Structure 1
């Protein structure tokens, strides 16, 4: 599955999440892309789990080897992960975690809800202890952008990422749609 295909498949669900839970779609999509390898990971394929959510979902789970970071050192471990019937359920479950928090801290992710700045939302997720990877925030921020390749156009990028040309122009302070350069980093979501 291509990156663009994966994003197109989950974008409508991420937009529903925004309407229902007030969570930025760019944050949810970036997390799904990073954690599932754009839907190609073993966990995404076997369990429709695109966020690496541990435990079980309605009694269903898969056991997969993964990497956890202990004192910034990667360690391979076997973990039990939730198995979902669809990617939409995986997205919805993540949104519920942000809204309801954890059993030990119901307000753990409250600063993610309603946040309009994706960098602040991502920082809130990291600050809450969501991931053990010390470069997690940096990896996510880089996924919210598109690196321009030869042949790219603003209209094609808008279509591919579910944005509009005007949004991409505004987010990137572009004077002219036709003045983009190869290797330029553009915010597209």
Structure 2
């Protein structure tokens, strides 16, 4: 199954409810030291497909496949594409929320997120020359139709990136702790 075609033009941006946004801001101010743990349970389905369970949402599929080739027909994003989607979504939400706080009306917003990856070193086989494993760089192009000057919109994007959890997770060193879980009791 091929990916759906990308539609030209900007996506319509429904406004964020200012009261709902203020509630989230107030919750954060009430206890600035509060830490929220986010969780996702990933369950292998076979043939390089996984289902990801987040809160009580329907399972989110992720399928590891090469963009081209025999596995390229998967009907779900691969893990690297899902990472790009998470970044784009986080930035989009941040741009909307910060625009609202600044009194900027956004009529439409679209982000193109892309990155290059060396496919031969993805699973540790094939090309074993020292290369970056994962993305070497990520490029995001933001297009929006809004009631503000280009200078104000550029400042809005810079501010959003500065405070984006997803962008900062990718940009800053993050402690990563991966271990085999304890054996299940018999």
Q: Which TM-score bucket, shorter chain as reference?
A: under 0.3
Q: Which has the higher helix share?
A: 1
Q: Name which one, 1 or 2, has greater alpha-carbon Rg.
A: 2
Normalising by the residue count of structure 2, what TM-score does the alignment of the two structures yield? 0.22
